[in-house]
Each structure stands twice: as C-alpha cells, then as structure tokens.
Amino acid sequence: MMKTNVDQTHIIQLGLSLSAHLGICRDFDVDCAQHLRNSVSIDVLKQQGIDFSDNKCTGICSADFAEEIERSGLVELLPCVTWATFQSAYDFGYLIKMFTGNKELPEDIKEFMGNVKTYFGPNVYDIKYMIKFCDGLFGGLNSVAATLGVDRVAGSSHQAGSNSLLTLQTFVKMLKMEKNKGKELWEECGGVLFGLGSLNFWHHC
C-alpha cells in the first residue's frame, strides 16, 4: 500500500528546519488540479492554512530539492546524523523517490530498507515503533508528547515544520528515560520503521 501510494502521488510537505535567504520557507509545488492526491488529506491541510494555489506557483520542485539536499552533503554525513521520525515509512518513501529521479519504489521491503540505509545511514529512529517497548506510551505524536510532558512550542498539528520539532523534542525526552530505558531504545530500535515489520533490516543489507 505504501509503495503504491508513494509511486502514484506527490510529496506535499517535509518537516526539516531549512530556509532560504532571510528565513523564507516554501512547501512543494503540488498542483491539486493535476496531481493524484488524497482529498481528505488535502482538506485537512487547507484547514491548517496551507495555500495550495500559492504552492502551485511558488512551491519547490521536488527534483530540484533532491538535487540541492544531496549537494549539501546532509545525506552523506551518515554516521554523524540521527534521523528522529514518527511513523515515517511514507516520509522516507517520498524522499527516496525524489533522490532516485521519481523512480517507483522497489517491490521488496529489504531492498527499500537498504535504500533508506544508503541515503540516511544507520541512525534512523521511528518513535511510533519505539513506543511499543514503553509502558504507558501509545497513540499519535500529540498523545506521546503530552504523556512525556513535551509541549508543542510552535505551529500546529498537521504542519510539517511544527511536527518535526515536536518529534525531535519527544525523541530526546525518550532517550533520557530512567533505568537505562533510553539507552535500550537507542540500541534496539535503530533502523526499524513502524508498519514495515519488526525485523531490523540493517543486519541484512
């Protein structure tokens, strides 16, 4: 299902804290009149203030973005970078699609996870998977953050930038959990994306 949806649709938002000169930020150049899309998701984002008519004119071309982020060296710093995510199979699917020139994703999960490792390295963590090993933590990002006492300090839900910051702060809080729980999560949960099974493919790629 994830492969089919990513192959046929376009990325709308990406929650990385990057900006152009003078702090100008852009979404991607999605055209709701032409691109295949999930109407429910589009309506939710519109309610959160996303202006798709403006994105069509001023949004970033995903191919140009992929070229620039690869040129920046961000995806080549592998062991030095930790990617903290929440239920991120689709996020990595869209990113890999961009980095490979909009090619369809591989049919085999092992091959897909190998691509994730190639572009993003071994330190990839999915909080949605991590909470399986934490008593009292469940639900979506807002629920997990609230349980841990992590406040959303900017933006609102369904905005990629705001969610990315909340994800980072929640991840850091989890790594500081008592009784060596944080260390255990760091050592055991790297390289597993929620929804793609519990097998750690890093050991096989």
Can you list the positions of beta strands (E) in the chain? 83-85, 124-126
Least confident span in 141-145, 186-190, 193-197: 193-197
The model's pTM is: 0.69
Provide, rounded to the nearest whole percent, the portion of the chain with pLDDT above 90. Answer: 28
Residues 6+ apart with CB under 8 A from 104: 3, 7, 97
For residue range 37-75, what is the model confidence (pLDDT) as tens digits? 567 766 766 676 667 677 667 677 777 777 877 777 766
HSE-up of 101 (CA within 13 Å, CB side)?
A: 0
Q: Looking at the predicted structure, is the pLDDT value of residue 23 above 60? A: no
Task: Give the architecture (CATH level 2) of 2-203.
Answer: 2-Layer Sandwich (3.30)
Mean pLDDT of the chain: 79
Please state whether beta strands 124-126 and 83-85 pair in parallel, antiparallel, or not at all (unpaired).
parallel
**What would the pLDDT profile of 169-186 be if each residue is shown by its tens digit?**
899 899 989 888 999 999
pLDDT in tens, 87-125: 999 999 998 998 888 899 999 888 899 888 888 888 899
* C-alpha torsion sign, points 132, 135, 137, 139: positive
